[in-house]
Amino acid sequence: MNTNVEMGKSPALDTLLHQLLAEEGLPASFRATVDRVYRPLAEELAARVANTPGPLVVGICGAQGSGKSTLAKFVAAILDAEQGLPCAAFSLDDLYLTGAERRQLAADVHPLLAVRGVPGTHDIELGLDVLKDLAQAVNHDFTAIPAFDKAVDDRRPQAAWPVFRGRPRVILVEGWCVGARPQQEAELAQPINAVEQQRDRDGRWRHYVNAQLAGRYQQLFARLEMLILIRVPRWELVRDWRLVQEEKLRARLRAQGGDASALMSPEQVGTFVQYYERITRHILAEMPARADCLLTLDENHDIAAVVGLAARSGPA
């Protein structure tokens, strides 16, 4: 841990944070959130690393559009540049089964499983292998990190995966249901939205999803040594914030000359988020009490409250 760099006094870090703000399309005012929340969070992780023999594995959970990937990018950069701790990060989204695998799953189990998102549509073995490879890596090893392309709804070729060199001191695993626990069987009886009412009338899909979450997903989540939850104020905002995500991706693809035709319309987003609704509501009900760090968002998407961080130096 670098204890000689005062908060806000590192020109190299300031430059890096400025670049990240530009890359993420965030206003300069977001720097206040970085200093108020992300940097103290990085300090907390650095303190925990000191008592961890291997890489510290940290889960980041939050509904769609809540800011998980943004938090992970900034915290990883701060850990590396300010704390001197190499940090690897990947998303549960990057473990999605390929399009062909999901189509086969849909044919074998339930048609709704063709749509990425819910437990059962990820390659959990791949995630466990990545964690194992990162934990066992030495200085000159290169670990390939899976990557999924949402613009084409399929996993990228392995040759296009990013690589992490060496052994990280921190591993961030972010995703909308990271650390989630299954529901009780009785809770699955009644459909909660139009997708469940119209396309899962007998409950086969939601029972399968719940069983998957209770199985191998718990083995992956058991590897987490710290769990961070970004809590949205209410479910109804998830659709709106997911729309913002889609528009950012659309704008990025257009700027790069890419094909945005496979991205979703507002109506499609409205249907898509219903696949996530049941587990998201369950997370919002049960996870806050057990998360190691709870970041609560307000209606404007600002972090209004932080619970679980030790008092550390830095801007309030």
Query: What are the sequence ranges of the domains in the chain?
Result: 11-307
pLDDT at position 310: 67
Tell me the pairing of strands 170-175 and 56-62.
Answer: parallel
Count Cβ atoms within 10 A of the Cβ of residue 258 and give its class: 0-12 exposed, 13-18 middle, 19 or more buried.
middle
Band of the pLDDT at 5, cuts 50, 70, 90? very low
Query: Alpha-carbon distance 250 to 258, whole Å?
Result: 9
Q: What is the pLDDT of residue 6?
A: 42
- For residues 75-111, b (16+ Cβ closer than 10 Å) or e, as one string? bbbbbbbbbebbbbbbbbbbbbbeeeebeebeeeebe
- List C-alpha distances in Å: 13 to 1, 4, 148, 206: 15, 14, 29, 45
Superfamily of domain 11-307: P-loop containing nucleotide triphosphate hydrolases (3.40.50.300)
Q: Rounded to whole angstroms, what are the CA distances from 178 to 62, 141, 175, 205, 213?
A: 8, 27, 5, 20, 10
**How confident is the model at residue 312, as a pLDDT?**
47
Q: Give the pLDDT score at 262.
A: 63
Q: What is the pLDDT of residues 173-227, one digit of tens each?
A: 999 999 999 999 999 999 999 999 999 999 999 999 999 999 999 999 999 999 9
pTM listed for this prediction: 0.90
Give the max Cα distance, the chain: 61
Q: Give pLDDT, residue 232.
A: 96
Q: Taking residues 78-98, what's their average pLDDT?
A: 96
The pLDDT mean for the chain works out to 91
In this predicted structure, what is the pLDDT of residue 9?
Answer: 52
Rounded Cα distance, 222 and 178, in Å = 10
Q: Residue 161: left (phi > 0), alpha (psi -120 to 50), or beta?
A: beta
Provide the pLDDT for residue 315.
37
Supply the pLDDT for residue 1.
Answer: 35
